[in-house]
């Protein structure tokens, strides 16, 4: 199966993002910073690519999503949610979302410096697919230094605990906001980090942050075969799309 990892940057690269998904077929997609609105989906879709549109163009029938924060739309008549999403060609049999840090706020205040990064909820989303694969999607706790800090390690340990004792095959994806050398990544050493394994040094597109940081990771458990790990060059977000083919 072909897997995509992508922080979609609130879907703001509208049309380029949907075109990329039309031209590249994936079986499992893990998204961070994906957006949706239950009350005003068509309104929001005029401005950004929403989860519902991405799911449609990707041709994937099954999904799980969890919101890290919300913000009011249309004078607070509606809410835009932003969070983690897993799209799958295979049925989802179980879903679990674990709050790693913070607290969900349906009306996030972006006027406070670093308010979203410090106060938003950080959820890890886990599903078990009908083919036996467990998939975990996590948008990592952000610090300016991609090495992270002690809090980054504590958050990652909670995420690792969700999959540490899984008996079947495990796939983990995410913009983890840390590089492979970070102490936080040592919590995941029971998995193979393909970003590190392939020597990848950059997964940013240098639109927002001008530096070389490989913060987007795809990790797999023992027994999963992999090939064709790729950092895509298409401009679809401030992060590169990262993909790999795996076999169970």
Q: In what order do the strands lie in the sheet with 2-7?
A: 62-73, 78-88, 28-36, 2-7, 242-247, 225-231
Confidence of residue 185 (pLDDT cuts 50, 70, 90): very high
Mean pLDDT computed over every residue of the chain: 95
CA distances from 18 to 45, 169, 235 (A): 12, 30, 11
pLDDT score for 108: 85
Domain range holding 147? 2-247
User: ∠ CA(221), CA(223), CA(229), 5° rounding?
Assistant: 70
Measured distance between the N- and C-terminal CA atoms of the chain, rounded to whole angstroms: 9
Confidence of residue 40 (pLDDT cuts 50, 70, 90): very high
Given a cut of 90, is residue 195 above it in pLDDT?
Answer: yes
Tokens 């308010």 belong to which residue?
115
* CATH number of the domain within which 137 lies: 3.60.10.10
Q: What average pLDDT does the segment 201-219 reach?
A: 91
Confidence of residue 99 (pLDDT cuts 50, 70, 90): very high
Number of domains in the chain: 1
Render the chain in DSSP notation, one character per residue. -EEEEEE-GGG-STTHHHHHHHHS--SEEEEEEEEE-SS-HHHHHTTS--HHHHHHHHT--EEEEEEEEEEEETTTTEEEEEEEEEEESS-EEEEEEEEEES---TT--TTSTTHHHHHS-EEEEEEEETTS-EEEEE-PPP-SSTT--HHHHHHHHHHHHHHTT-SS-EEEEEE-SS-TTSGGGGGGTTSEEHHHHTT----B-SSSS-S----EEEEE-TT-EEEEEEE--S-SSSB--EEEEEE-
Given a cut of 70, is residue 3 above it in pLDDT?
Answer: yes
Given a cut of 90, is residue 230 above it in pLDDT?
Answer: yes
CA nearest to 30, candidates 72, 85, 80: 85
Length of the chain: 248
Segment 151-167, tens digit of pLDDT? 999 999 999 999 999 99
What are the structure tokens assigned to 149, written together? 């800090």
Say if residues 173 and 211 touch (Cβ distance below 8 Å).
no
Mode of pairing for the β-strands spanning 92-101 and 78-88? unpaired
């Amino acid at each position: 199966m072909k897997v995509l990892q992508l922080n979609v940057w609130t879907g703001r690269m509208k049309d380029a993002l949907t075109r990329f998904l039309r031209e590249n077929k994936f079986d499992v997609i893990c998204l961070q910073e994906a957006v949706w609105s239950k009350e005003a989906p068509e309104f929001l879709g005029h401005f950004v690519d929403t989860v519902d549109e991405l799911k449609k163009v990707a041709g994937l029938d099954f999904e799980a999503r969890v919101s890290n924060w919300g913000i009011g739309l249309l004078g607070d008549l509606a809410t835009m949610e932003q969070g983690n999403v897993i799209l799958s060609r295979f049925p989802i049999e179980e879903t679990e979302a674990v709050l790693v840090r913070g607290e969900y706020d349906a009306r996030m205040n972006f006027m406070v410096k670093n308010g979203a990064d410090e106060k938003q909820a950080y959820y890890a989303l886990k599903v078990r697919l009908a083919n036996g694969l467990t998939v975990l999607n996590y948008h990592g706790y952000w610090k300016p230094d991609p090495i992270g800090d002690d809090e980054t390690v504590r958050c990652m340990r909670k995420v690792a605990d969700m999959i540490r004792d899984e008996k079947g095959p495990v796939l983990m994806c995410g913009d983890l906001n840390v590089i492979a050398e970070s102490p936080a990544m040592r919590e995941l050493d029971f998995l193979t980090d393909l970003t590190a394994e392939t020597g990848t040094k950059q997964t940013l597109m240098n639109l927002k942050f001008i530096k070389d940081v490989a913060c987007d990771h795809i990790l797999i458990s023992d027994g999963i075969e992999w090939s064709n790990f790729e950092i895509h060059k298409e401009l679809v977000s401030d992060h590169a799309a990262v993909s790999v083919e795996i076999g169970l």
